[in-house]
Amino acid sequence: MVPLKLLASVATSDGDLQLRQRGEREYLITIDGRVLMSSGDRRSEEAVATLACAKLAGVAAPRVLIGGLGMGYTLRAALDALPAAAKVTVAELTAEVETWCRGPLSTLTRGAVLDPRVRVVIGDVARVIADAAPGSFDAIIFDLYEGPHATSKGDDEPFYGRRALARTHAALSPGGVLSIWSEDANPSFQRRMTDAGFTASMHQPGGKRAYGVYLGVRRR
């Protein structure tokens, strides 16, 4: 097997975030030695974006917020599904990840971050949502390292807790869409979305043993 080559590394509170390469076009992003994503499998990243954007078919100039840049696959899938008048904001915690997507990873996504519709904000997507004016976005897409799980039900959980969902609901326009990647099904989280004012559904494009995507449409 061709060995992995370390291209870049940055220290984070969760350990070293590293970009590695094997051969000509295989890339991995790891944190503290654990693989977060691989260029060889983009299905979940594409699904969380395309399922959300399909709900925006009637919006002439949709405003979309993506939480997490990763290798840029979620962004690329959103751009391919959105019209020319769309505006896409990507919130990414680590500035180096944007640098990687503009550099060695750019060929994977046809330079998605260079698209004139895109603005990258280096910061916490939870803060971007909290600071947004009501109705700022027509879709919010979470493609984060961890999806909702049993421990994320607390009021103060920053992405999937009750208060977080209320803030996200407020940041969306009436009929706006919340799309969330998840490791697996979590019925209690779906109920929490419903309680927060969303018409919620769970999708598993890869089958029941694969990842899931929660879709929530803000009730008017």
Res 154: pLDDT = 64
Instruction: Decide if pLDDT at 199 tops 80.
Output: yes
| Shared-domain flag, residues 10 and 109 | no
| Shared-domain flag, residues 93 and 2 | no
| Shared-domain flag, residues 64 and 32 | no
The SS3 call for residue 80 is helix
Q: What is the mean pLDDT of residues 114-141?
A: 98
| Shared-domain flag, residues 112 and 89 | yes
Total domains in the chain come to 2
d(CA 177, CA 200): 10
Kindly report, residue by residue over 51-81, the tens digit of the pLDDT: 999 999 999 999 999 999 999 999 999 999 9
Instruction: Order the strands of the 137-142 sheet from edge to edge.
Output: 118-122, 87-92, 63-67, 137-142, 172-182, 212-218, 198-203
| Shared-domain flag, residues 52 and 14 | no
Query: Among 190, 210, 193, which residue's Cα sits nearest to residue 202?
Result: 190
DSSP string, 153-198: GSTT-TTTSHHHHHHHHHHEEEEEEEEEEESS--HHHHHHHHHTTE
Dihedral, CA atoms, 109, 46, 144, 5, nearest 10 degrees?
-40
| Shared-domain flag, residues 91 and 118 | yes
pLDDT band (50, 70, 90) for residue 2: confident
| Shared-domain flag, residues 28 and 94 | no
d(CA 8, CA 94): 13
Kindly report, residue by residue over 81-117, the tens digit of the pLDDT: 999 999 999 999 999 999 999 999 999 999 999 999 9
Domain of 188, CATH number, reads 3.40.50.150
| Shared-domain flag, residues 17 and 45 | no
Res 150: pLDDT = 60
d(CA 28, CA 167): 33
- Verdict on whether the full-model pTM lies above 0.85: yes
| Shared-domain flag, residues 102 and 191 | yes
| Shared-domain flag, residues 17 and 119 | no
| Shared-domain flag, residues 133 and 29 | no
| Shared-domain flag, residues 26 and 50 | no
The SS3 call for residue 94 is coil
Instruction: Decide if pLDDT at 173 tops 60.
Output: yes
- The number of residues making up the chain comes to 220
What is the domain range of residue 89? Answer: 41-218
Mean pLDDT across the chain: 92
- Residue 147 near residue 183 (C-beta atoms within 8 A): yes
